Structure 1
Protein backbone atom coordinates (compact mmCIF):
# COMPACT_ATOMS: atom_id res chain seq x y z
CA UNK A 1 0.00 0.00 0.00
CA UNK A 2 1.39 3.40 -1.00
CA UNK A 3 0.96 6.25 1.45
CA UNK A 4 0.65 9.12 -1.01
CA UNK A 5 0.28 11.69 1.73
CA UNK A 6 3.72 10.78 3.08
CA UNK A 7 5.20 11.07 -0.41
CA UNK A 8 3.57 14.46 -0.83
CA UNK A 9 4.89 15.60 2.56
CA UNK A 10 8.39 14.41 1.60
CA UNK A 11 8.46 16.89 -1.30
CA UNK A 12 7.04 14.24 -3.64
CA UNK A 13 10.24 12.19 -3.63
CA UNK A 14 10.15 8.79 -5.34
CA UNK A 15 10.16 6.14 -2.57
CA UNK A 16 13.30 4.04 -2.21
CA UNK A 17 12.97 0.58 -3.69
CA UNK A 18 10.14 1.54 -6.03
CA UNK A 19 10.51 1.78 -9.79
CA UNK A 20 9.22 4.77 -11.70
CA UNK A 21 7.14 2.50 -13.92
CA UNK A 22 5.41 1.02 -10.87
CA UNK A 23 4.79 4.44 -9.32
CA UNK A 24 3.30 5.96 -12.48
CA UNK A 25 1.10 2.90 -12.94
CA UNK A 26 -0.20 3.28 -9.38
CA UNK A 27 -0.74 7.02 -9.81
CA UNK A 28 -2.63 6.43 -13.04
CA UNK A 29 -4.91 3.94 -11.27
CA UNK A 30 -5.42 6.33 -8.35
CA UNK A 31 -6.67 9.05 -10.71
CA UNK A 32 -9.54 6.74 -11.72
CA UNK A 33 -10.38 5.51 -8.21
CA UNK A 34 -14.05 5.84 -7.21
CA UNK A 35 -12.98 7.05 -3.75
CA UNK A 36 -12.65 10.86 -4.07
CA UNK A 37 -10.25 10.92 -1.10
CA UNK A 38 -7.82 8.94 -3.24
CA UNK A 39 -8.57 10.35 -6.68
CA UNK A 40 -8.62 14.03 -5.76
CA UNK A 41 -6.15 13.89 -2.88
CA UNK A 42 -2.41 13.42 -2.60
CA UNK A 43 -2.01 11.26 -5.75
CA UNK A 44 -3.24 14.18 -7.84
CA UNK A 45 -0.69 16.52 -6.21
CA UNK A 46 2.14 14.00 -6.52
CA UNK A 47 1.48 13.33 -10.19
CA UNK A 48 1.22 17.05 -10.95
CA UNK A 49 4.52 17.71 -9.19
CA UNK A 50 6.34 14.85 -10.94
CA UNK A 51 5.11 15.96 -14.35
CA UNK A 52 5.97 19.63 -13.73
CA UNK A 53 9.47 18.79 -12.43
CA UNK A 54 10.26 16.29 -15.18
CA UNK A 55 10.65 13.46 -12.67
CA UNK A 56 8.81 11.08 -15.01
CA UNK A 57 10.84 10.31 -18.15
CA UNK A 58 9.47 11.64 -21.44
CA UNK A 59 8.58 8.22 -22.95
CA UNK A 60 6.60 7.31 -19.84
CA UNK A 61 4.81 10.67 -19.87
CA UNK A 62 3.74 10.06 -23.46
CA UNK A 63 2.56 6.58 -22.53
CA UNK A 64 0.61 8.09 -19.64
CA UNK A 65 -1.04 10.51 -22.07
CA UNK A 66 -2.01 7.60 -24.28
CA UNK A 67 -3.57 5.88 -21.25
CA UNK A 68 -5.60 9.00 -20.48
CA UNK A 69 -6.75 9.34 -24.08
CA UNK A 70 -7.94 5.73 -23.99
CA UNK A 71 -9.67 6.43 -20.68
CA UNK A 72 -12.18 8.72 -22.41
CA UNK A 73 -14.07 5.53 -23.30
CA UNK A 74 -13.85 4.01 -19.80
CA UNK A 75 -17.22 2.85 -18.40
CA UNK A 76 -16.52 4.61 -15.07
CA UNK A 77 -17.46 8.28 -15.14
CA UNK A 78 -14.73 9.37 -12.72
CA UNK A 79 -12.11 7.74 -14.94
CA UNK A 80 -13.38 9.62 -17.98
CA UNK A 81 -13.67 12.97 -16.25
CA UNK A 82 -10.26 12.92 -14.58
CA UNK A 83 -8.47 11.94 -17.79
CA UNK A 84 -8.51 15.56 -19.08
CA UNK A 85 -6.91 16.73 -15.81
CA UNK A 86 -3.88 14.52 -16.41
CA UNK A 87 -3.68 15.42 -20.10
CA UNK A 88 -3.79 19.08 -19.10
CA UNK A 89 -0.79 18.52 -16.81
CA UNK A 90 1.12 16.76 -19.59
CA UNK A 91 0.40 19.33 -22.29
CA UNK A 92 1.23 22.17 -19.89
CA UNK A 93 4.62 20.49 -19.38
CA UNK A 94 5.30 20.35 -23.12
CA UNK A 95 4.12 16.86 -24.05
CA UNK A 96 1.73 16.55 -26.97
CA UNK A 97 0.31 14.03 -29.39
CA UNK A 98 -2.34 14.76 -32.03
CA UNK A 99 -4.13 11.54 -31.07
CA UNK A 100 -4.87 13.05 -27.67
CA UNK A 101 -6.78 15.87 -29.34
CA UNK A 102 -8.70 13.37 -31.48
CA UNK A 103 -9.74 11.33 -28.43
CA UNK A 104 -10.77 14.44 -26.53
CA UNK A 105 -12.78 15.72 -29.48
CA UNK A 106 -14.73 12.46 -29.65
CA UNK A 107 -15.47 12.45 -25.91
CA UNK A 108 -16.22 16.03 -24.90
CA UNK A 109 -19.54 16.73 -26.68
CA UNK A 110 -20.66 13.11 -26.28
CA UNK A 111 -20.29 12.87 -22.48
CA UNK A 112 -23.74 12.57 -20.90
CA UNK A 113 -22.86 12.60 -17.19
CA UNK A 114 -22.38 16.31 -16.56
CA UNK A 115 -22.69 16.33 -12.77
CA UNK A 116 -20.24 18.68 -11.15
CA UNK A 117 -20.24 16.85 -7.83
CA UNK A 118 -21.63 13.56 -6.56
CA UNK A 119 -22.07 12.71 -2.87
CA UNK A 120 -20.28 9.38 -3.23
CA UNK A 121 -17.88 9.95 -6.14
CA UNK A 122 -16.94 13.51 -5.24
CA UNK A 123 -15.94 15.94 -7.96
CA UNK A 124 -16.58 14.76 -11.51
CA UNK A 125 -16.67 18.04 -13.45
CA UNK A 126 -16.71 16.66 -17.00
CA UNK A 127 -17.52 20.04 -18.53
CA UNK A 128 -15.10 22.05 -16.38
CA UNK A 129 -12.19 19.61 -16.67
CA UNK A 130 -12.86 19.34 -20.38
CA UNK A 131 -12.94 23.13 -20.65
CA UNK A 132 -9.52 23.38 -19.05
CA UNK A 133 -8.11 20.90 -21.55
CA UNK A 134 -9.85 22.67 -24.42
CA UNK A 135 -8.15 25.85 -23.22
CA UNK A 136 -4.77 24.10 -23.11
CA UNK A 137 -5.12 22.50 -26.54
CA UNK A 138 -6.58 25.66 -28.03
CA UNK A 139 -3.51 27.68 -27.06
CA UNK A 140 -1.07 25.20 -28.63
CA UNK A 141 0.25 26.17 -32.08
CA UNK A 142 -0.14 22.56 -33.25
CA UNK A 143 -3.92 22.71 -32.73
CA UNK A 144 -6.24 24.62 -35.05
CA UNK A 145 -8.05 27.12 -32.80
CA UNK A 146 -11.20 26.92 -34.93
CA UNK A 147 -11.35 23.21 -34.18
CA UNK A 148 -11.51 23.95 -30.46
CA UNK A 149 -14.12 26.69 -30.91
CA UNK A 150 -16.27 24.30 -32.94
CA UNK A 151 -15.81 21.65 -30.26
CA UNK A 152 -17.05 24.06 -27.59
CA UNK A 153 -20.09 24.84 -29.74
CA UNK A 154 -20.79 21.12 -30.05
CA UNK A 155 -20.64 20.76 -26.26
CA UNK A 156 -22.97 23.72 -25.78
CA UNK A 157 -25.58 22.46 -28.23
CA UNK A 158 -25.57 18.80 -27.12
CA UNK A 159 -28.88 17.94 -25.42
CA UNK A 160 -28.80 17.37 -21.67
CA UNK A 161 -31.21 17.51 -18.75
CA UNK A 162 -28.48 18.74 -16.40
CA UNK A 163 -28.11 22.44 -15.60
CA UNK A 164 -24.54 23.43 -14.82
CA UNK A 165 -24.27 24.06 -11.08
CA UNK A 166 -20.56 24.24 -10.24
CA UNK A 167 -19.32 27.13 -12.42
CA UNK A 168 -18.91 24.89 -15.45
CA UNK A 169 -20.33 27.66 -17.66
CA UNK A 170 -17.69 30.10 -16.39
CA UNK A 171 -14.87 27.61 -16.98
CA UNK A 172 -16.03 26.91 -20.52
CA UNK A 173 -16.44 30.63 -21.23
CA UNK A 174 -12.91 31.27 -20.00
CA UNK A 175 -11.56 28.48 -22.21
CA UNK A 176 -13.29 29.99 -25.22
CA UNK A 177 -11.94 33.43 -24.35
CA UNK A 178 -8.39 32.10 -24.07
CA UNK A 179 -8.61 30.43 -27.48
CA UNK A 180 -9.99 33.67 -28.91
CA UNK A 181 -6.85 35.56 -27.85
CA UNK A 182 -4.89 33.76 -30.59
CA UNK A 183 -3.76 36.04 -33.38
CA UNK A 184 -3.65 33.41 -36.13
CA UNK A 185 -7.40 33.56 -36.77
CA UNK A 186 -9.37 35.67 -39.20
CA UNK A 187 -12.43 37.57 -38.04
CA UNK A 188 -14.51 34.88 -39.73
CA UNK A 189 -12.65 32.16 -37.83
CA UNK A 190 -13.29 33.92 -34.53
CA UNK A 191 -17.05 34.18 -35.03
CA UNK A 192 -18.26 31.38 -37.33
CA UNK A 193 -18.42 28.83 -34.49
CA UNK A 194 -21.44 30.75 -33.16
CA UNK A 195 -23.49 30.08 -36.30
CA UNK A 196 -24.50 26.50 -35.35
CA UNK A 197 -25.40 27.77 -31.88
CA UNK A 198 -27.74 30.38 -33.37
CA UNK A 199 -29.13 27.82 -35.81
CA UNK A 200 -29.73 25.29 -33.03
CA UNK A 201 -31.46 27.65 -30.61
CA UNK A 202 -32.70 30.56 -32.68
CA UNK A 203 -34.95 28.85 -35.21
CA UNK A 204 -37.85 27.89 -32.96
CA UNK A 205 -39.73 29.48 -30.11
CA UNK A 206 -37.99 28.78 -26.82
CA UNK A 207 -40.02 26.09 -25.03
CA UNK A 208 -41.24 26.52 -21.50
CA UNK A 209 -39.65 25.47 -19.24
CA UNK A 210 -36.34 26.38 -20.88
CA UNK A 211 -34.32 23.21 -21.55
CA UNK A 212 -31.14 22.69 -19.56
CA UNK A 213 -28.78 22.77 -22.54
CA UNK A 214 -30.16 26.13 -23.65
CA UNK A 215 -29.75 27.55 -20.14
CA UNK A 216 -26.16 26.27 -20.05
CA UNK A 217 -25.43 27.78 -23.44
CA UNK A 218 -26.88 31.19 -22.61
CA UNK A 219 -24.96 31.40 -19.34
CA UNK A 220 -21.71 30.48 -21.06
CA UNK A 221 -22.15 33.00 -23.86
CA UNK A 222 -23.06 35.77 -21.43
CA UNK A 223 -19.88 35.13 -19.47
CA UNK A 224 -17.89 35.03 -22.69
CA UNK A 225 -19.31 38.46 -23.56
CA UNK A 226 -17.85 39.77 -20.29
CA UNK A 227 -14.44 38.32 -21.19
CA UNK A 228 -14.72 39.82 -24.68
CA UNK A 229 -15.45 43.18 -23.13
CA UNK A 230 -12.86 43.12 -20.33
CA UNK A 231 -10.20 40.65 -21.49
CA UNK A 232 -9.19 37.32 -19.97
CA UNK A 233 -6.32 36.53 -17.62
CA UNK A 234 -3.98 33.69 -18.73
CA UNK A 235 -3.45 33.03 -15.01
CA UNK A 236 -4.59 34.74 -11.80
CA UNK A 237 -1.42 36.85 -11.53
CA UNK A 238 -1.53 38.14 -15.11
CA UNK A 239 -3.14 41.24 -16.52
CA UNK A 240 -6.18 40.65 -18.74
CA UNK A 241 -5.42 39.95 -22.40
CA UNK A 242 -7.76 41.30 -25.07
CA UNK A 243 -9.52 38.87 -27.38
CA UNK A 244 -8.38 39.08 -30.99
CA UNK A 245 -11.18 40.54 -33.16
CA UNK A 246 -12.76 41.69 -29.91
CA UNK A 247 -15.39 43.95 -31.48
CA UNK A 248 -16.48 41.33 -34.01
CA UNK A 249 -16.72 38.64 -31.31
CA UNK A 250 -18.84 40.90 -29.10
CA UNK A 251 -21.14 41.73 -32.00
CA UNK A 252 -21.51 38.06 -32.96
CA UNK A 253 -22.25 37.09 -29.36
CA UNK A 254 -24.87 39.83 -29.09
CA UNK A 255 -26.56 38.68 -32.30
CA UNK A 256 -26.57 35.07 -31.15
CA UNK A 257 -28.02 35.90 -27.75
CA UNK A 258 -30.61 38.17 -29.32
CA UNK A 259 -31.66 35.47 -31.77
CA UNK A 260 -32.54 33.23 -28.84
CA UNK A 261 -33.99 35.49 -26.15
CA UNK A 262 -35.99 37.91 -28.29
CA UNK A 263 -38.77 35.33 -28.84
Structure 2
Protein backbone atom coordinates (compact mmCIF):
# COMPACT_ATOMS: atom_id res chain seq x y z
CA UNK A 1 0.00 0.00 0.00
CA UNK A 2 1.24 3.50 -0.85
CA UNK A 3 1.18 5.24 2.51
CA UNK A 4 2.01 8.63 0.98
CA UNK A 5 -0.97 8.43 -1.39
CA UNK A 6 -3.31 7.23 1.36
CA UNK A 7 -2.17 10.04 3.66
CA UNK A 8 -2.82 12.55 0.89
CA UNK A 9 -6.31 11.17 0.30
CA UNK A 10 -7.05 11.33 4.02
CA UNK A 11 -5.68 14.88 4.29
CA UNK A 12 -7.70 16.13 1.31
CA UNK A 13 -10.88 14.60 2.71
CA UNK A 14 -10.20 16.51 5.90
CA UNK A 15 -9.52 19.74 4.01
CA UNK A 16 -12.74 19.35 2.03
CA UNK A 17 -14.68 18.71 5.24
CA UNK A 18 -13.25 21.95 6.66
CA UNK A 19 -14.42 23.95 3.65
CA UNK A 20 -10.90 23.88 2.19
CA UNK A 21 -9.52 26.02 4.99
CA UNK A 22 -5.87 25.53 5.95
CA UNK A 23 -3.88 28.08 7.95
CA UNK A 24 -0.53 26.32 8.11
CA UNK A 25 1.67 27.47 5.20
CA UNK A 26 3.94 24.46 5.60
CA UNK A 27 0.98 22.10 5.27
CA UNK A 28 -0.24 24.00 2.21
CA UNK A 29 3.19 23.66 0.57
CA UNK A 30 3.57 19.97 1.39
CA UNK A 31 0.01 19.17 0.29
CA UNK A 32 0.41 21.14 -2.93
CA UNK A 33 3.58 19.23 -3.81
CA UNK A 34 1.78 15.94 -3.28
CA UNK A 35 -1.26 17.05 -5.27
CA UNK A 36 1.04 17.87 -8.18
CA UNK A 37 2.67 14.46 -7.80
CA UNK A 38 -0.65 12.59 -7.87
CA UNK A 39 -2.55 14.87 -10.27
CA UNK A 40 -2.80 12.00 -12.74
CA UNK A 41 -4.00 9.38 -10.29
CA UNK A 42 -6.33 6.87 -11.92
CA UNK A 43 -8.88 7.16 -9.11
CA UNK A 44 -11.33 9.87 -10.27
CA UNK A 45 -12.35 10.55 -6.66
CA UNK A 46 -8.82 11.49 -5.63
CA UNK A 47 -7.90 13.19 -8.91
CA UNK A 48 -11.10 15.08 -9.72
CA UNK A 49 -13.13 15.44 -6.55
CA UNK A 50 -10.23 16.05 -4.16
CA UNK A 51 -7.03 17.22 -5.89
CA UNK A 52 -8.62 19.37 -8.59
CA UNK A 53 -11.29 20.74 -6.25
CA UNK A 54 -8.67 21.67 -3.68
CA UNK A 55 -6.62 23.45 -6.32
CA UNK A 56 -9.77 25.35 -7.38
CA UNK A 57 -10.45 26.63 -3.89
CA UNK A 58 -6.86 27.26 -2.85
CA UNK A 59 -5.90 29.10 -6.04
CA UNK A 60 -9.01 31.08 -6.99
CA UNK A 61 -11.04 31.50 -3.79
CA UNK A 62 -8.80 31.18 -0.76
CA UNK A 63 -5.89 32.78 -2.67
CA UNK A 64 -3.33 30.94 -0.58
CA UNK A 65 -0.54 31.45 -3.12
CA UNK A 66 1.37 34.63 -3.88
CA UNK A 67 2.62 35.46 -7.38
CA UNK A 68 5.91 33.61 -7.02
CA UNK A 69 4.19 30.52 -5.64
CA UNK A 70 1.73 30.54 -8.54
CA UNK A 71 4.68 30.67 -10.94
CA UNK A 72 6.30 27.75 -9.14
CA UNK A 73 3.16 25.66 -9.61
CA UNK A 74 3.03 26.68 -13.27
CA UNK A 75 6.65 25.69 -13.87
CA UNK A 76 5.94 22.21 -12.51
CA UNK A 77 2.69 21.82 -14.44
CA UNK A 78 4.38 22.69 -17.75
CA UNK A 79 7.17 20.13 -17.39
CA UNK A 80 7.70 16.72 -18.99
CA UNK A 81 6.19 14.92 -16.01
CA UNK A 82 2.88 16.77 -16.17
CA UNK A 83 1.54 18.53 -19.28
CA UNK A 84 3.89 16.59 -21.55
CA UNK A 85 3.97 13.32 -19.64
CA UNK A 86 4.16 10.57 -22.28
CA UNK A 87 2.76 12.98 -24.85
CA UNK A 88 1.79 11.19 -28.05
CA UNK A 89 0.70 7.99 -26.28
CA UNK A 90 -2.83 6.63 -26.67
CA UNK A 91 -5.12 4.39 -24.66
CA UNK A 92 -2.89 4.83 -21.62
CA UNK A 93 -3.69 6.18 -18.17
CA UNK A 94 -1.03 8.86 -18.65
CA UNK A 95 -3.61 11.00 -20.46
CA UNK A 96 -5.19 12.14 -17.19
CA UNK A 97 -1.89 13.56 -15.97
CA UNK A 98 -1.83 15.75 -19.06
CA UNK A 99 -5.49 16.74 -19.09
CA UNK A 100 -5.73 17.55 -15.40
CA UNK A 101 -2.52 19.54 -15.67
CA UNK A 102 -4.44 21.60 -18.23
CA UNK A 103 -7.20 22.28 -15.72
CA UNK A 104 -4.68 23.65 -13.23
CA UNK A 105 -3.22 25.87 -15.96
CA UNK A 106 -6.71 27.26 -16.49
CA UNK A 107 -6.90 28.19 -12.80
CA UNK A 108 -3.51 29.88 -13.02
CA UNK A 109 -4.62 31.85 -16.09
CA UNK A 110 -7.76 32.92 -14.27
CA UNK A 111 -5.61 34.38 -11.51
CA UNK A 112 -3.44 36.11 -14.09
CA UNK A 113 -6.55 37.87 -15.38
CA UNK A 114 -7.44 38.96 -11.84
CA UNK A 115 -3.96 40.22 -10.98
CA UNK A 116 -1.45 40.03 -13.80
CA UNK A 117 1.49 38.22 -12.25
CA UNK A 118 2.91 36.76 -15.47
CA UNK A 119 5.23 38.87 -17.59
CA UNK A 120 4.60 38.90 -21.32
CA UNK A 121 7.53 36.53 -21.78
CA UNK A 122 6.11 34.13 -19.17
CA UNK A 123 2.63 34.33 -20.70
CA UNK A 124 4.03 33.64 -24.16
CA UNK A 125 5.90 30.60 -22.87
CA UNK A 126 2.70 29.32 -21.27
CA UNK A 127 0.59 29.80 -24.40
CA UNK A 128 3.28 28.21 -26.59
CA UNK A 129 3.29 25.14 -24.33
CA UNK A 130 -0.50 24.89 -24.34
CA UNK A 131 -0.79 25.24 -28.12
CA UNK A 132 2.01 22.72 -28.59
CA UNK A 133 0.23 20.31 -26.25
CA UNK A 134 -3.10 20.70 -28.05
CA UNK A 135 -1.43 19.93 -31.37
CA UNK A 136 0.47 16.90 -30.03
CA UNK A 137 -2.21 15.24 -27.88
CA UNK A 138 -3.38 12.05 -29.59
CA UNK A 139 -5.60 10.52 -26.89
CA UNK A 140 -8.97 12.22 -27.34
CA UNK A 141 -11.13 9.91 -25.25
CA UNK A 142 -13.82 11.71 -23.30
CA UNK A 143 -15.04 9.57 -20.42
CA UNK A 144 -14.65 5.98 -19.33
CA UNK A 145 -16.19 4.37 -16.26
CA UNK A 146 -12.94 3.06 -14.80
CA UNK A 147 -10.82 6.17 -15.06
CA UNK A 148 -13.47 8.89 -15.27
CA UNK A 149 -13.01 12.08 -17.24
CA UNK A 150 -10.04 12.45 -19.57
CA UNK A 151 -11.53 15.03 -21.97
CA UNK A 152 -8.34 16.36 -23.56
CA UNK A 153 -10.13 18.28 -26.32
CA UNK A 154 -12.48 19.96 -23.83
CA UNK A 155 -9.96 20.71 -21.09
CA UNK A 156 -7.59 22.06 -23.70
CA UNK A 157 -10.33 24.24 -25.17
CA UNK A 158 -11.04 25.72 -21.74
CA UNK A 159 -7.41 26.79 -21.43
CA UNK A 160 -7.30 28.12 -24.99
CA UNK A 161 -10.38 30.19 -24.16
CA UNK A 162 -8.58 31.70 -21.18
CA UNK A 163 -5.61 32.46 -23.43
CA UNK A 164 -7.61 34.34 -26.09
CA UNK A 165 -9.47 36.17 -23.30
CA UNK A 166 -6.21 37.49 -21.89
CA UNK A 167 -5.10 41.05 -22.58
CA UNK A 168 -1.65 39.60 -23.31
CA UNK A 169 -2.98 37.58 -26.26
CA UNK A 170 -2.20 38.93 -29.74
CA UNK A 171 -3.64 38.23 -33.20
CA UNK A 172 -0.96 35.71 -34.11
CA UNK A 173 -1.75 33.67 -31.01
CA UNK A 174 -5.46 33.70 -31.82
CA UNK A 175 -4.74 32.31 -35.28
CA UNK A 176 -2.60 29.56 -33.79
CA UNK A 177 -5.38 28.72 -31.34
CA UNK A 178 -7.93 28.38 -34.16
CA UNK A 179 -5.55 26.25 -36.20
CA UNK A 180 -5.07 24.00 -33.15
CA UNK A 181 -8.69 22.95 -33.46
CA UNK A 182 -7.95 21.52 -36.89
CA UNK A 183 -5.79 18.84 -35.25
CA UNK A 184 -8.68 17.73 -33.07
CA UNK A 185 -11.39 17.89 -35.72
CA UNK A 186 -9.23 16.14 -38.31
CA UNK A 187 -8.34 13.21 -36.06
CA UNK A 188 -9.39 9.88 -37.55
CA UNK A 189 -9.89 7.77 -34.42
CA UNK A 190 -12.12 9.52 -31.90
CA UNK A 191 -15.70 10.71 -32.25
CA UNK A 192 -16.10 13.68 -29.93
CA UNK A 193 -19.21 12.61 -28.04
CA UNK A 194 -18.94 14.49 -24.74
CA UNK A 195 -19.75 18.04 -25.92
CA UNK A 196 -16.18 18.87 -26.80
CA UNK A 197 -17.64 20.77 -29.77
CA UNK A 198 -19.40 23.17 -27.42
CA UNK A 199 -16.26 23.86 -25.41
CA UNK A 200 -14.34 24.49 -28.63
CA UNK A 201 -17.11 26.72 -29.99
CA UNK A 202 -16.81 28.85 -26.85
CA UNK A 203 -13.23 29.69 -27.80
CA UNK A 204 -14.21 30.84 -31.30
CA UNK A 205 -17.14 32.77 -29.83
CA UNK A 206 -14.65 34.59 -27.58
CA UNK A 207 -12.47 35.43 -30.59
CA UNK A 208 -15.47 36.75 -32.53
CA UNK A 209 -16.90 38.83 -29.67
CA UNK A 210 -13.52 40.37 -28.85
CA UNK A 211 -13.23 41.41 -32.51
CA UNK A 212 -9.44 41.60 -32.40
CA UNK A 213 -8.64 39.12 -35.14
CA UNK A 214 -11.07 40.48 -37.71
CA UNK A 215 -14.03 38.99 -39.55
CA UNK A 216 -12.18 38.08 -42.72
CA UNK A 217 -9.58 35.89 -41.03
CA UNK A 218 -12.18 34.06 -38.93
CA UNK A 219 -14.39 33.45 -41.97
CA UNK A 220 -11.41 32.20 -43.97
CA UNK A 221 -10.62 29.77 -41.17
CA UNK A 222 -14.22 28.51 -41.10
CA UNK A 223 -14.16 28.05 -44.88
CA UNK A 224 -11.13 25.78 -44.60
CA UNK A 225 -12.73 23.45 -42.03
CA UNK A 226 -13.04 19.92 -43.34
CA UNK A 227 -10.75 20.59 -46.29
CA UNK A 228 -8.79 17.40 -45.57
CA UNK A 229 -11.90 15.22 -46.01
CA UNK A 230 -11.77 13.55 -49.42
CA UNK A 231 -14.72 12.03 -51.35
CA UNK A 232 -15.86 8.49 -50.58
CA UNK A 233 -16.47 6.62 -47.36
CA UNK A 234 -14.16 5.22 -44.73
CA UNK A 235 -14.36 5.07 -40.95
CA UNK A 236 -11.65 7.73 -40.77
CA UNK A 237 -13.50 10.12 -43.11
CA UNK A 238 -16.75 9.52 -41.21
CA UNK A 239 -15.13 10.55 -37.90
CA UNK A 240 -13.62 13.68 -39.45
CA UNK A 241 -16.88 14.69 -41.12
CA UNK A 242 -19.12 14.15 -38.08
CA UNK A 243 -16.75 15.90 -35.68
CA UNK A 244 -16.42 18.89 -37.99
CA UNK A 245 -20.15 19.04 -38.74
CA UNK A 246 -21.07 18.99 -35.06
CA UNK A 247 -18.56 21.72 -34.30
CA UNK A 248 -19.85 23.88 -37.16
CA UNK A 249 -23.41 23.49 -35.89
CA UNK A 250 -22.44 24.35 -32.33
CA UNK A 251 -20.66 27.49 -33.46
CA UNK A 252 -23.52 28.45 -35.79
CA UNK A 253 -26.14 28.32 -33.05
CA UNK A 254 -23.82 30.14 -30.65
CA UNK A 255 -23.31 33.03 -33.05
CA UNK A 256 -26.79 33.30 -34.57
CA UNK A 257 -28.07 34.61 -31.24
CA UNK A 258 -25.76 37.62 -31.46
CA UNK A 259 -26.14 40.85 -33.44
CA UNK A 260 -23.98 41.55 -36.50
CA UNK A 261 -22.82 37.97 -36.96
CA UNK A 262 -24.49 37.24 -40.32
CA UNK A 263 -21.14 37.18 -42.10
CA UNK A 264 -20.04 34.32 -39.85
CA UNK A 265 -23.31 32.40 -39.81
CA UNK A 266 -23.62 32.52 -43.60
CA UNK A 267 -20.21 30.86 -43.94
CA UNK A 268 -21.10 28.32 -41.25
CA UNK A 269 -24.42 27.53 -42.95
CA UNK A 270 -22.66 26.88 -46.24
CA UNK A 271 -20.04 24.76 -44.50
CA UNK A 272 -22.71 22.63 -42.82
CA UNK A 273 -24.29 22.01 -46.22
CA UNK A 274 -20.97 20.70 -47.48
CA UNK A 275 -20.63 18.32 -44.54
CA UNK A 276 -24.23 17.10 -44.28
CA UNK A 277 -24.72 13.96 -46.35
CA UNK A 278 -28.40 13.74 -45.43
CA UNK A 279 -29.59 16.86 -47.24
CA UNK A 280 -30.09 14.77 -50.38
CA UNK A 281 -33.09 13.18 -48.67
CA UNK A 282 -34.85 16.55 -48.51
CA UNK A 283 -35.08 16.63 -52.30
CA UNK A 284 -36.29 13.02 -52.46
CA UNK A 285 -39.00 13.66 -49.88
CA UNK A 286 -40.23 16.76 -51.71
CA UNK A 287 -40.34 14.89 -55.02
CA UNK A 288 -42.37 12.09 -53.41
CA UNK A 289 -44.85 14.60 -52.00
CA UNK A 290 -45.29 16.20 -55.43
CA UNK A 291 -46.09 12.80 -56.94
CA UNK A 292 -48.66 12.07 -54.23
Between 1:61-70 and 1:76-85, the stretch displaced more is 61-70
Matches within 5 A, 1:14-29: 14=22, 16=24, 18-29=26-37
| TM value normalised by structure 1 | 0.85
Hey, what does 2:238 align to over in structure 1?
A: 211
Q: How far does residue 50 in structure 1 lie from its aligned partner after superposition?
A: 1.1
Between 1:219-228 and 1:176-185, the stretch displaced more is 176-185
1:9 and 2:17 are equivalent in the alignment: yes
Q: 1:26 to 1:128 in 2, by over 3 A?
A: same
**CA offsets, 1:59-111, max 9 Å, x none?**
12112112222222202111011111001111011154211111111111321
Matches within 5 A, 1:102-141: 102-141=128-167
1:87 and 2:105 are equivalent in the alignment: yes
Structure 1 unaligned spans of 5+: 232-241
Hey, what does 2:4 align to over in structure 1?
A: none
Hey, what does 2:262 align to over in structure 1?
A: 247
Cα distance between partner residues in 1 of 2:83 and 2:18: 32
Q: How far does residue 16 in structure 1 lie from its aligned partner after superposition?
A: 4.0
Q: Tell me how large the CA RMSD over aligned residues is.
A: 2.1
| Structure 1 residue ranges, 4+ long, deviating more than 6 angstroms after superposition | none
Paired residues of 1:66 and 1:100 also in contact (CA < 8 A): no
Cα distance between partner residues in 1 of 2:273 and 2:265: 12
Between the two structures, name the one with larger relative contact order (CA 8 Å, sep ≥ 6): 1
Aligned partner of residue 93 in structure 1, secondary structure: helix
Cα distance between partner residues in 2 of 1:73 and 1:208: 32
**CA offsets, 1:145-181, max 9 Å, x none?**
2332222233222x23111121112221222212221
Aligned partner of residue 113 in structure 1, secondary structure: coil
Cα distance between partner residues in 2 of 1:179 and 1:26: 36
Which one has the bigger helix percentage?
2
Hey, what does 1:77 align to over in structure 2?
A: 95
**CA offsets, 1:6-33, max 9 Å, x none?**
1122121226483443222112123221
Hey, what does 1:187 align to over in structure 2?
A: 215
Paired residues of 2:139 and 2:152 also in contact (CA < 8 A): yes
Hey, what does 2:191 align to over in structure 1?
A: 163
Hey, what does 2:176 align to over in structure 1?
A: 147
Cα distance between partner residues in 2 of 1:83 and 1:104: 10
Cα distance between partner residues in 2 of 1:17 and 1:205: 61
Cα distance between partner residues in 1 of 2:232 and 2:135: 22
Number of positions where the alignment pairs a residue of Structure 1 with one of Structure 2: 248
1:258 and 2:273 are equivalent in the alignment: yes
| TM value normalised by structure 2 | 0.77
Paired residues of 2:99 and 2:152 also in contact (CA < 8 A): yes
